[in-house]
Every structure is written in C-alpha cells, then in structure tokens.
C-alpha cells in the first residue's frame, strides 16, 4: 500500500541529493525538547540538530523577534551599517574573553573558520596552519583542509586537489586512545611535545596559527586534560603563532560556560562561533579577534557573503543571547550536563560495551567498544544502537569512522534540557542497549 509518507520519501530521494543519508522520517512539527513526525510520534531531541537549536524548538519569544525584524528590514549586505549588527557586535565582545573586541559576522561555521584562517595567513604574512587529527572545522576549502577527520574531500583523489596547501595535522589530546600509548596521568603532555617537534622539523619554524576546538565534538567528544590548552597557548607564543579556538559547537553555553575556553582560562587570538549563536532558527556565525588583528583586516576585501551581517541574523542572535543570559541557561547547561554525565556513567558500570563516558556541560558522549579491556571499536553496535534509540524516540548523533577506530554516541541537547529530560534519555538508551544485546549478545 502506497502511503503519503512513502510518497514524500520517494520524492525526496528523486529530487534531493541524499547528503548525510537521511533517515526515513518526516518531521512536520516541533516544540520545546521534541520533534514530531508526520504520524504524530514525538522524538526527544538530544542532538539540538547538530548543536544549533540552543533554546529548543518553537521558542515563541525568539520567533516573535525574528518575525518583527522581517517586517522591518532584512536584505542589507555588509556594504551598509545597521543598528542590528552594531548591537550584536557589542554583545559578542562583552561576552567574549578579555581582549577580543572586533567582530566579523558570517553565515556558517565553515565560512567563519575560513575567514579565521585567511586572517591568520594575512596577519602573519604566511606560514603553516596546524590543526589536529579528529578535529572538524568545516566543509569549505580552507576549513576542510584544517579538518583532521579524514572526510570525503580528503579521501577522494578527484576532489582532494581542491584542498589548499600549507596545512599540518598533529595528534589530538585523546586520552582514551592516546596515539603514543601513554597513561594520561603520567604522560607529561607527550602530544604537545610531539607538536613542538613538528613545528621545528615540518614547518621550518614558520607557523601562522594553530586551530583547535577546545573540546573536539565531531571527533568523539574529546576533552583535553588539565594544562593542555595553557601549554598550547605557550607554544603559540613561543613560535609567534596565532591561537584560534573553533567554538562553533562548544560556544554559547554548550559546555557550561559561555565559551569553553573559559574553563581553562585560556584566551585565543581569534575565536569562532556559530550554530547555537542564533538559536538555530536563522543561519549565522561570527569571528571575534583582538583589536590589533581586526584593525589590520579593516577595509580589506578578503572574505564575505551576500548574507553576512544580515540584520535578521543579528536580531536572532541578539535575542537568543538575551534569553540565554536572562534564563540562566549557561548555568543550566553546567548543572544538567553534570547530571547527564553521572547518569551515563551509571550505564557504563552496567554495560561492558560502554568503554568511556566524557564531556562538559550539555556536550557529552559515550564510546562503544567490544569490551573495556581491548577497547576495540564496536561499529556493529553503534549502527544498531543509533537506529534503536531513534525507533524508541530519541534523537542523538553517531560519530563512527573505521579509519579513526572509534564509535561515539554524541549527546548535545538544547540548553533548556531538564533533569527529567535526562532521565527519559537514559531510560531510552538503557532499553535500547538491552534490545541490541538480545541480537548481538553484547552486555
């Protein structure tokens, strides 16, 4: 029997390129923490749609602000000034770490990272860009070249030539799977010692910038050990390189601080934010730099998009930030995120297939293994568990790549998440692992 659901799915496959291999679910409505499909089934959204939907779905106050702006003025390029872009820039520099006082606004995290990399190259007069294996920075040329996850553009020889030269990748602070086989409690940050040798040997001591996510999100929620980012700052200073923090995912309250770098009291030269900046209702991103760097980039036609600085984006971001601060959602992220971590660790003690639980605030992940001793990545369970949780009404993200030898379920729900939502999430994860265990005998 052909249903409307089947017809829509078939037409989607016929007319739209199937990027990300979409699940055969048609979402028609959303409210708060839930997405609702065309059959009326509710799904608890613990993805926040790639971490963007910070206020949850259908936030009336944010929608009203966007609607009001649309009736006022929308289509204004970066060639002209609007009050909306001035207000957002002032707000961002007030919220950013000390000394970051100049802003460029964009459309996506990819284009914001692209500008950050161009800025570093221009400001430093050339030099290598160093980034990290397992890191993700975007899908445009420069941001993809900085990405260390080995995406399609790196792997496919026919399109890899689109990547620019001048990038080096190095070992991330992945303590659960240390590239050097070290114990994180006694490693003395071996990965950063290796980085210094790379700078001396592979870059001719000429580095424009080092770019990193303070917490690697798409790489599997990799949290650096204490002292790591301060030492990375020292290395940048030693080699006269800029430090770029890609906080497209980790910014705007995600980790229990407005920006994740605040946890370690490390200030970058350039900070990039996006995704949750606008609450996910309108595309938007921003690059925030020191005054010295920003002044050098003034009046330089180097980077821009038609929709950069659009007042609609600026209004959405300003209202979103106002709500986050007024309602204490950064603190909520810290408190509820700690509770989520605790509940996940309870599951870790119950199931041998959960090898590690890690995260900060409402950015948490659990790594799936064959067993805890071997740490062998459990790809079969990862695929099955993701689909089982979705079947039971929980939206998560699966980070699973065989060449990277890890399988991580990533949870980064809206900042409005409550402990009750966490309990429901854990209940579904628990039941889903049980269901999968009956099929593949992993318990």
Last residue of a domain, one of 302, 326, 350: 326
**Is 67 among the domain residues?**
no
* Residue 346 CA: distances (Å) to CA of 108, 263, 356, 357, 362: 37, 25, 11, 10, 17
Average pLDDT, the chain: 95
pLDDT for position 2: 54
Inside any domain, residue 434: yes
Placement of tokens 């957002």 in the chain: 88
Q: Are residues 338 and 320 in the same domain?
A: no
Task: Note whether 218 and 159 are same-domain residues.
Answer: yes
35: three-class secondary structure by DSSP: strand
Same domain for 370 and 232:
no
Could you say which of 283, 305, 326 is where a domain stops?
326
- Exposed, middle or buried: residue 81 (CB in 10 Å: 0-12, 13-18, 19+)? exposed
Q: Which domain holds residue 141?
A: 73-326
pLDDT range class, residue 394, cuts 50, 70, 90:
very high
Q: How far is the first Cα of the chain from the last one, in angstroms, to the nearest whole number?
A: 39
Q: Are residues 301 and 346 part of one domain?
A: no
Please state, for a pLDDT cut of 70, what percent of the chain lies above it. 98
The total domain count for the chain is: 2
Q: What pLDDT digit, counting tens, does each position of 251-288 carry?
A: 999 999 999 999 999 999 999 999 999 999 999 999 99
**Which of the listed residues 307, 326, 345 is the one where a domain comes to its end?**
326
In this structure, the answer to whether residues 312 and 221 fall within a common structural domain is yes
62-71, 199-208, 314-323, 360-369: range with lowest mean pLDDT? 199-208
Say if residue 303 is in the same domain as residue 342: no
**409, 366 in Cβ contact below 8 A?**
yes
Question: Residues 45-71: pLDDT tens digits?
Answer: 999 999 999 999 999 999 999 999 999
Same domain, 114 and 148: yes
**Euclidean distance between CA atoms 173 and 177, whole angstroms:** 9
| pLDDT in the model for residue 1 | 45
Whether 153 and 297 map to the same domain: the answer is yes
Claim to verify: residue 367 and residue 242 sit in the same structural domain: no
Give the CATH number, domain containing residue 435. 3.90.1150.10
Q: Is residue 78 part of a domain?
A: yes
């Amino acid at each position: 029997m052909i249903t409307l659901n089947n017809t829509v799915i078939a037409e989607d496959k016929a007319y739209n390129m199937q990027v990300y291999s979409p699940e055969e679910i048609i979402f028609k409505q959303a409210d708060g923490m839930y997405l609702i499909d065309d059959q009326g089934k509710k799904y608890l959204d613990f993805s926040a749609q790639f971490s963007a939907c910070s206020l949850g779905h259908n936030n009336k106050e944010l929608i009203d602000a966007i609607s009001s702006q649309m009736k006022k003025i929308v289509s204004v390029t970066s060639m002209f000034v609007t009050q909306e872009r001035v207000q957002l820039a002032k707000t961002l520099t007030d919220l950013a770490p000390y000394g970051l006082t100049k802003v460029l606004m964009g459309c996506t995290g990819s284009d914001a990272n692209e500008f950050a990399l161009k800025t570093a190259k221009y400001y430093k007069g050339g030099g290598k860009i160093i980034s990290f294996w397992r890191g993700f920075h975007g899908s445009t040329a420069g941001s993809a070249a900085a990405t260390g996850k080995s995406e399609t553009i790196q792997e496919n020889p026919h399109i890899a030539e689109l990547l620019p030269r001048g990038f080096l990748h190095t070992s991330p602070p992945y303590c659960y799977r240390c590239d050097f086989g070290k114990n994180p409690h006694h490693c003395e940050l071996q990965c950063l010692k290796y980085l210094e040798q790379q700078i001396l040997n592979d870059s001719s001591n000429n580095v424009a910038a080092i770019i990193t996510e303070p917490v690697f999100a798409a790489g599997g929620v990799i949290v650096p050990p204490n002292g790591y980012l301060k030492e990375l700052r020292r290395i940048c200073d030693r080699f006269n390189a800029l430090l770029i923090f890609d906080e497209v995912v980790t910014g705007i309250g995600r980790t229990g601080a407005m920006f994740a770098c605040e946890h370690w009291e490390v200030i970058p030269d350039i900070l990039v934010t996006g995704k949750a900046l606008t609450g996910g209702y309108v595309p938007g991103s921003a690059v925030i730099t020191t005054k010295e760097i920003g002044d050098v980039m003034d009046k330089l036609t180097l980077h821009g998009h038609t929709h950069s600085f659009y007042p609609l984006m600026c209004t959405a971001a300003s209202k979103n930030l106002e709500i986050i601060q007024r309602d204490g959602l950064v603190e909520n992220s810290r408190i509820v995120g700690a509770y989520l971590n605790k509940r996940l660790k309870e599951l870790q003690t119950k199931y041998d297939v959960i090898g590690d639980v890690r995260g900060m605030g409402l950015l948490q992940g659990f790594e799936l293994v064959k067993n805890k001793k071997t740490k062998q990545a459990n790809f079969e369970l990862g695929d099955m568990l993701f689909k089982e949780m979705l079947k039971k009404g929980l939206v998560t993200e699966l980070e699973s790549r065989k060449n990277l030898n890890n399988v991580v379920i990533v949870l980064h729900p809206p900042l409005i998440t409550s402990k009750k939502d966490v309990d429901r999430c854990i209940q579904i994860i628990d039941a889903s692992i049980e269901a999968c265990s009956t099929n593949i005998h992993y318990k």
